[in-house]
Amino acid sequence: MHSSARCSISISTRAILAVPWGMIVVFIIAAPFLASHSCHNVASVLYYFFFWVCHQIPERSFMLSGFPLAVCHRCTGIYLGMFIGCFIENNAVHGGPQTRRLLVAVAILPLGIDALMPMTGVWTNNVLSRFSTGLLFGILISSLVVHGFAEFMQDAPWRRLIRYLQLKGDLS
């Protein structure tokens, strides 16, 4: 069926995933941009939608033209990483189950430590640590998702139907 062997993922497959992630990144940047250009209604609708997925604390968000981005430092890193990861060929995803688990651990652990350690009082995170751990998480997880999405596209129900019809046509 599908192989986990090294296969080049087509640019169209990468683009299908990159477009929605890119759209989210554009919306995040558009919110302060529109607010600074007097389009307050659209800006507040964008801020409102991202309110559902992020705490939006201004002190923990990047500023653009005096307005905070629609999500925090960490979320900005995650979304940007998910977008960038669509174009990065990561050979680790083609490895066995153990390599993939290691990849997920490398993605999650720095982010988890950065988010949870301040609660213990041992360490305080900063802008760079929040953004970079989010970015690392996004890039690594996105490379895994792109690989899975390529497999999904190979074995999508409509492709199976086409194969079935071709086979039926060959037999008759």
What are phi and psi for residue 76, nearest 5 degrees?
-60, -45
Minimum gap (Å) between residue 59 Cβ and other proteins = 12
Residue 119 near other proteins by CB under 8 A: no
23 C-beta neighbours (distance < 10 Å), count: 13
Segment lying near other proteins (by CB under 8 A), choices 6-14, 93-101, 125-133, 162-170: 93-101
Closest CA to 48 of 59, 38, 40: 40
* Residue 63, strand partner residues: 68
Alpha-carbon radius of gyration of the chain: 20
Q: Report which DSSP code applies to 122.
A: S
Q: Decide whether 131 or 170 has the Cβ nearer to other proteins.
A: 131
Place of tokens 């250009």: 37
Residue 100 near other proteins by CB under 8 A: yes
Minimum gap (Å) between residue 2 Cβ and other proteins = 5
Residue 131 near other proteins by CB under 8 A: no
- For 133, the token pair is 């751990």
Residue 122 near other proteins by CB under 8 A: no
**Distance in angstroms (rounded) separating the CA atoms of residues 112 and 2:** 32
Residue numbers at the binding site for other proteins (CB under 8 A): 1-4, 20-21, 24, 35, 38, 40-41, 43-45, 47-49, 51-56, 58, 66-68, 71-72, 74-75, 78, 82, 93, 96-97, 100-101, 103-104, 141-142, 144-145, 147-155, 157
